[in-house]
């Protein structure tokens, strides 16, 4: 295994009209090739900010970060990752295949190659046959699958996913979680996944990064060694429940530290 993300002493303070907001504090994180890593924590603890720093969408104000051994900017320019947003963010005037094609068109990839890639990626997310539909003709879960196909279209090493299933109901979410696990096993991509959901994090991940707020920092990193074969009912096994309990405890302790903070400073 080799590190695809290496953050050391990462800090990020936003300067706002109401004063500085310390969004990330002293983040040390190494993510190895092929891992599925979830970032979990309460609202405002910096999960999205950390993902955006990896993606070169925010600049850290301190510390260092390497993505695939190079700066986030170089990694972005070499298309090291595909990014999946909370909302599917598909262009409504383009068909599903037109949406998946867009990054490939920007890269100047020939039409026949684009067609082949669209087909294979739609197959990966179980959407074969929906090429000519427009986003509004698809359910929320299908739209999110299409946006995953788009993120995979240029075959990046890594998928960065910001709460991709947060807005979906639980049944659809379960289904998409199963599909995402299959896709991860099939493609062996590295995935960094932001979520609020403990069961989702435990079900999907090889490693869970528990974050705590104000300023956002890593409270604990929990190994999630449930093996590769994870049917949905693994969620009722003692091992799963034990890991979920550890994550919950981590979140609770992270919070109580936060509650004590004003008295200590």
Ligand X SMILES: Nc1ncnc2c1ncn2[C@@H]1O[C@H](COP(=O)(O)OP(=O)(O)OP(=O)(O)O)[C@@H](O)[C@H]1O
Whichever of 94 and 214 has its CB closer to ligand X, that residue is 214
Among 1, 2, 16, 265, binds ligand X (CB under 6 A): 16
CB of 139 to ligand X, least distance (A): 23
204 binds ligand X (CB under 6 A): no
User: How do beta strands 158-162 and 190-195 pair?
Assistant: parallel
Q: Which range touches ligand X (CB under 6 A), out of 45-53, 90-98, 150-158, 197-205?
A: 45-53
Whichever of 24 and 226 has its CB closer to ligand X, that residue is 24
Whichever of 51 and 100 has its CB closer to ligand X, that residue is 51
46 binds ligand X (CB under 6 A): yes
Q: Which range touches ligand X (CB under 6 A), out of 39-47, 66-74, 139-147, 175-183?
A: 39-47
Q: Where does the chain show beta strands of DSSP type E?
A: 3-16, 19-32, 36-40, 62-67, 81-84, 158-162, 190-195, 207-212, 217-223
Size of the site for ligand X (CB under 6 A): 13
Window 88 to 117, contacts with ligand X (CB under 6 A):
none
Q: Which range touches ligand X (CB under 6 A), out of 15-23, 30-38, 230-238, 257-265?
A: 15-23
- Residue 215-244 contact track with ligand X, rule CB under 6 A, x = bound: -x----------------------------
User: How do beta strands 207-212 and 217-223 pair?
Assistant: antiparallel
Whichever of 60 and 103 has its CB closer to ligand X, that residue is 60
Among 23, 125, 158, 161, binds ligand X (CB under 6 A): 23
Q: What whole-number distance in Å separates Cα of residue 186 and Cα of residue 191?
A: 13
Please name which of 42, 48, 60 lies closest in space to residue 212, comparing C-alpha atoms: 42
Q: What whole-number distance in Å separates Cα of residue 152 and Cα of residue 121?
A: 7
Q: What whole-number distance in Å separates Cα of residue 120 and Cα of residue 141?
A: 19
Q: How far is CA 94 from CA 84, 137, 145, in A?
A: 18, 12, 16
Among 44, 62, 69, 129, binds ligand X (CB under 6 A): 44
Whichever of 201 and 226 has its CB closer to ligand X, that residue is 201
Among 21, 57, 89, 168, binds ligand X (CB under 6 A): 21
CB 121 within 8 A of CB 189: no
Q: What whole-number distance in Å separates Cα of residue 26 and Cα of residue 239?
A: 31
CB of 16 to ligand X, least distance (A): 5
254 binds ligand X (CB under 6 A): no
Q: How far is CA 87 from CA 90, 94, 133, 141, 231, in A?
A: 9, 16, 18, 10, 26
Whichever of 23 and 149 has its CB closer to ligand X, that residue is 23
Q: Give CA 64 to chain center in angstroms.
A: 20
Q: Which two tokens stand for residue 31?
A: 């993510």
**Positions in the binding site for ligand X (CB under 6 A):** 14, 16, 21, 23, 41, 43-49, 216
């Amino acid at each position: 295994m080799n590190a695809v993300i290496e953050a050391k002493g990462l800090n990020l303070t936003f300067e706002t009209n109401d004063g500085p907001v310390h969004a990330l504090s002293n983040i040390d994180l190494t993510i190895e090739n092929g891992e599925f890593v979830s970032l979990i924590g309460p609202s405002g603890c910096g999960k999205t900010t950390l993902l955006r720093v990896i993606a070169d969408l925010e600049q850290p104000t301190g510390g260092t970060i390497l993505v695939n051994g190079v700066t986030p900017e170089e990694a972005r320019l070499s298309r090291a990752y595909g990014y999946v947003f909370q909302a599917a963010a598909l262009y409504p005037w383009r068909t599903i295949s037109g949406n998946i094609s867009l990054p490939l068109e920007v890269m100047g990839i020939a039409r026949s190659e684009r067609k082949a890639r669209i087909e294979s990626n739609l197959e990966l997310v179980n959407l074969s046959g929906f090429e000519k539909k427009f986003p509004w003709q698809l359910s929320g879960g299908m739209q999110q699958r299409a946006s995953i196909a788009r993120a995979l279209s240029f075959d990046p090493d890594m998928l960065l996913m910001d709460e991709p299933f947060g807005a979906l109901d639980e049944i659809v979410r379960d289904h998409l979680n199963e599909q995402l696990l299959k896709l991860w096993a099939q493609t062996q991509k590295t995935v960094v996944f932001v979520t609020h959901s403990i069961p989702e994090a435990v079900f999907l991940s090889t490693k869970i990064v528990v974050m705590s707020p104000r300023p956002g920092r890593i409270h604990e990193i929990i190994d999630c060694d449930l093996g590769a074969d994870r049917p949905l009912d693994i969620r009722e096994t003692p091992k799963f429940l034990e890991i979920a309990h550890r994550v919950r405890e981590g979140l609770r302790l992270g919070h109580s530290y936060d509650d004590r903070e004003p008295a200590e400073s």
